[in-house]
Amino acid sequence: MYVKVKVPATSANLGPGFDVAGLAVTLYNTFTFELTDGPLEITGCPEQFANEDNLTYQAFKKAAKQVGLEYHNVKIHTKTEVPFTRGLGSSSTCIVAGIVGAYALMDRADERKEILNLATEIEGHPDNVAPAIFGGMTVSVVEADYNVTTLSLPVKHDYRFVALIPPFTLSTEKARSVLPEQLERKDAIANVSHLALMVASIINGYDHGLKLGFKDRFHQPYRGQLINNFFPIMECLEKDEGVLGAYLSGAGPTIMALIKAEDTKGVVRIKDELGDLIKGWRVEKLELDT
């Protein structure tokens, strides 16, 4: 038995929506799962991940138990496009693929709510796994026992996402470790208001609300200090009238800038404006995966 699972890259937080909001983009990791009588085989990933601790395998194993899939062993092959540890949800692709792989082998891949709950339990937050499972732009609420409610937003306009991907990595663990345990009420109110404005602007196509809507006080001020040139890059993007909004993608270090689809010169313009600030960085123009 053999199944193939293709999972999109995701960009989480969307500025103020820390651990809540996320979106899927057109960059993919593809996984195949084949049940076997032989040993565990994991191919297509760096040698140090080709073992029992492999995240895709761990997710597959947990899902197989939950869904009652009986098997001796599995061969997992991975083909990756999503850059690793860059804030584009590469870990979520592994988690979602492992779970969907096991569910698909039981012909239950359409049980998305169960898949989402388990994926959130493994990842610890829903903002990457939810858009990876449902596509588009999502907001999620997690209740007790990883009971997740996710809503896909109707995105009114056709946007492009310019991903500024640095050559260096930043682990989510490190990026979470610098966050304060407590926030001031004024910062909490600011973030709630920005998130509400951002979501309402996306739904209504109110592009003028996005620059303010994507602003954040929960995590970017702290994580920005771990990322070379983060603050000058954000300042420069703020001044570009074609950039509708910009934010740190997930835990970083990738920075995401939103432009309109018809702004065909946007990428060249942004690269010119940022110049040496993004020397050696990869720039990808992505679409929303729906």
**Which residues of the chain form contacts with ligand HSE (CB under 6 A)?**
12-13, 18-19, 125, 127-128, 172, 175-176, 219, 250-251
164 has binding-site annotation: no
- With beta carbons less than 8 A apart as the criterion, state whether 290 and 136 touch: yes
Nearest residue to 33 (alpha-carbon basis) of 51, 55, 60: 60
How far is Cα 175 from Cα 248, in angstroms, rounded to an integer?
A: 11
Instruction: Compute the least distance from the CB of residue 22 to ligand HSE, in Å.
Output: 8
How far is Cα 67 from Cα 103, in angstroms, rounded to an integer?
A: 7
Instruction: Compute the least distance from the CB of residue 143 to ligand HSE, in Å.
Output: 17
Instruction: Compute the least distance from the CB of residue 214 to ligand HSE, in Å.
Output: 14
Q: What is the largest CA-CA distance in the chain?
A: 59
> Which residue of this chain has its Cβ atom nearest to ligand HSE in the complex?
250
85 has binding-site annotation: yes
How far is Cα 172 from Cα 157, in angstroms, rounded to an integer?
A: 31
Instruction: Compute the least distance from the CB of residue 87 to ligand HSE, in Å.
Output: 6
How far is Cα 12 from Cα 19, in angstroms, rounded to an integer?
A: 7
92 has binding-site annotation: yes
Nearest residue to 237 (alpha-carbon basis) of 225, 224, 247: 247
Token pair recorded at residue 211: 């620059």
Nearer of residues 104 and 255 to ligand HSE, judged by Cβ: 255
Nearer of residues 64 and 148 to ligand HSE, judged by Cβ: 148
201 has binding-site annotation: no
Nearer of residues 104 and 219 to ligand HSE, judged by Cβ: 219
DSSP helix/strand/coil, 15: coil
43 has binding-site annotation: no
Sheet holding 245-248, edge to edge: 245-248, 255-260, 159-165, 282-286
Nearer of residues 19 and 34 to ligand HSE, judged by Cβ: 19
Nearer of residues 67 and 91 to ligand HSE, judged by Cβ: 91
Rg (Cα) of the chain, in Å, rounded?
Answer: 19
Instruction: Compute the least distance from the CB of residue 251 to ligand HSE, in Å.
Output: 4
171 has binding-site annotation: no
DSSP helix/strand/coil, 67: helix
91 has binding-site annotation: yes
Q: From the annotation, which residues make up the binding site?
A: 83-93
Q: From the annotation, which residues make up the binding site for ATP?
A: 83-93
